[in-house]
Structure 1
């Protein structure tokens, strides 16, 4: 704003307050105005119409006795049609707004627990904005927007909250891991049961095949060699298998020594035991 030869310049987005002999006369819009100082006219001051922001940090206590710092951002501006009220009625606009913000926050936050305060930030901001709008409109100011930009608990409280959150996540992870291990164990047991079932079927079929083969051998030998009984044929087959087994054990380079009774009588006992075992296997497979 300039003042030269009774002329004044009012900048854009600004209004000036004109007085005559110390009494309010009018509001000067942006542009050039004639101001005859010799007739008592003067500019008392100027008022910006730009949007302004005030950040207010307020310490208060929640319902669960946690002290927090609430940071509110107030966006406001003076109204051109109420410029005289904005200029004359308030000496310190920012202090006035800060006082109202303190009052509303300290009346709202103590009703909420800490977690609820974080969740209801918008409700707190709306309460502050409504109160400011109602109070500041009488002074020629408009509250454009009110934001609760941060709620800061004590550092120890934040650390405790982080530890609680971490413990909860670890608990969930442990449950998921236990559930996964449970599923693996169930699947492993199902696999083992299926494997044993199939192994049993294989053993049963193997024994059945052995019995069928021995039966065919006995029948063929009895037909081709008259006068022999099935018992004689079985004894001969079992003795042959016995000696084949002894030969395989002796031929293996890494076989473990096996001590068994040996002799003609022992062979008869072995044959009797093998025959009884095969007959039992055949009967169980049927």
Structure 2
């Protein structure tokens, strides 16, 4: 009876051990990968498979998950590097790069320090690209420079299974001596523009004055021309009257002129007493007779 109990007990232990082994194998074989990760599976030290998000199965005790790689977007720490522009200006450029791992099997087997490798690559590309541009171009074409840097970094890290999602130039700093020189240049440019503006204003004022003088001269000439035309017309009328009425019309016009002259003399200040020759008095008398006769 003791032998039978011992046999049954040994068989039960083996069964329990087998059941535990099966449960452990199933537990090892089932791999649940989070949405934000990919798992690299090795078999005897060699790449076997890459497990994506969800439920996956591997061969227990032969396969193992060697690397758990996050596929979330990452940001490199802000890096500063010196660069020299095409016009020999030393600048300090602050950059930041965002990337994510697309093919972890390339990343884990081809590069050890991903962040360090990308940072070094970015620094070299930034120095090379800024060296092709003058300082003014670096400041004004920052968007184009960022696009060029991003494309160059993508080409450099493609073999590592990495996608560069964004590259940013946060700031371009100058040394104090260069800043002072640029400030002096800026002040000089402002003064030059102010002088040009003043000169253009003075030129415009002279042009307007000349236009005004020309207009006044034209108006004066026009007035003289009109007056001359009026006098010519008056002369023509008088000539026609003389032609029709003879000497009497001529005497009438002379009488009018004499009366106008007398009125002008009498209107002057301090000329209330007028001494005229007798012949002049006779002429005025004849003029008044003619005027009276015309009236």
Q: Judge same fold: TM > 0.5, yes or no.
A: yes
CA-atom RMSD in angstroms: 4.6
Q: Which deviations, in whole Å up to 9, do the C-alpha atoms of 1:147-196 show, x marking residues without a partner?
A: 65764556556645654664565466556645644553453244223202
CA distance in 2, matches of 1:27, 1:175: 75
CA distance in 1, matches of 2:144, 2:180: 26
Relative to 1, partners in 2 of residues 1:142 and 1:179: Cα closer, same or farther, differing over 3 Å? same
Pairwise CA distance, 1:71: 4.7
Aligned to 1:203: 227
Aligned to 2:263: 244
1:245-260 superposed matches below 5 A: 245-246=264-265, 249=267, 257=269
Pairwise CA distance, 1:29: 1.4
CA distance in 2, matches of 1:138, 1:266: 130
Pairwise CA distance, 1:86: 0.9
Pairwise CA distance, 1:60: 1.9
Pairwise CA distance, 1:198: 0.8
CA distance in 2, matches of 1:9, 1:267: 143
Relative to 1, partners in 2 of residues 1:261 and 1:74: Cα closer, same or farther, differing over 3 Å? farther
CA distance in 2, matches of 1:222, 1:203: 27
Matched, 1:184 2:208: yes
Pairwise CA distance, 1:117: 3.3
Matched, 1:139 2:151: no
Pairwise CA distance, 1:22: 7.4
Relative to 1, partners in 2 of residues 1:134 and 1:208: Cα closer, same or farther, differing over 3 Å? closer
State which of 25, 34, 47 in structure 1 corresponds to 2:69.
Answer: 47
Aligned to 1:110: 131
Say if 1:104 and 1:127, in contact at 8 Å, map to a contact too.
no
Relative to 1, partners in 2 of residues 1:267 and 1:41: Cα closer, same or farther, differing over 3 Å? farther
Relative to 1, partners in 2 of residues 1:65 and 1:240: Cα closer, same or farther, differing over 3 Å? same
Aligned pairs, number = 250
Q: Which deviations, in whole Å up to 9, do the C-alpha atoms of 1:11-62 show, x marking residues without a partner?
A: 224202345787765422111245798x486544422334445465433222
Pairwise CA distance, 1:112: 2.9
CA distance in 2, matches of 1:109, 1:119: 12
1:246-285 superposed matches below 5 A: 246=265, 249=267, 257=269, 262-265=274-277
- My pick for the range that moved more, 52-61 or 133-142, is 52-61
Say if 2:130 and 2:138, in contact at 8 Å, map to a contact too.
yes
Say if 1:239 and 1:267, in contact at 8 Å, map to a contact too.
no
Aligned to 1:223: 248
Relative to 1, partners in 2 of residues 1:179 and 1:233: Cα closer, same or farther, differing over 3 Å? closer
Pairwise CA distance, 1:107: 2.8
Unaligned stretches of 5+ residues in structure 2? 1-25, 284-295
Q: Which deviations, in whole Å up to 9, do the C-alpha atoms of 1:177-232 show, x marking residues without a partner?
A: 456445534532442232022111122134335545766489858338xxxx85x9
Greater radius of gyration (CA):
2
CA distance in 2, matches of 1:42, 1:267: 149
SS of the residue 1:237 aligns to: helix
CA distance in 1, matches of 2:272, 2:132: 91
Say if 2:265 and 2:271, in contact at 8 Å, map to a contact too.
no
Say if 1:218 and 1:233, in contact at 8 Å, map to a contact too.
no
Say if 2:125 and 2:153, in contact at 8 Å, map to a contact too.
no
TM-score normalised to structure 2 length: 0.61
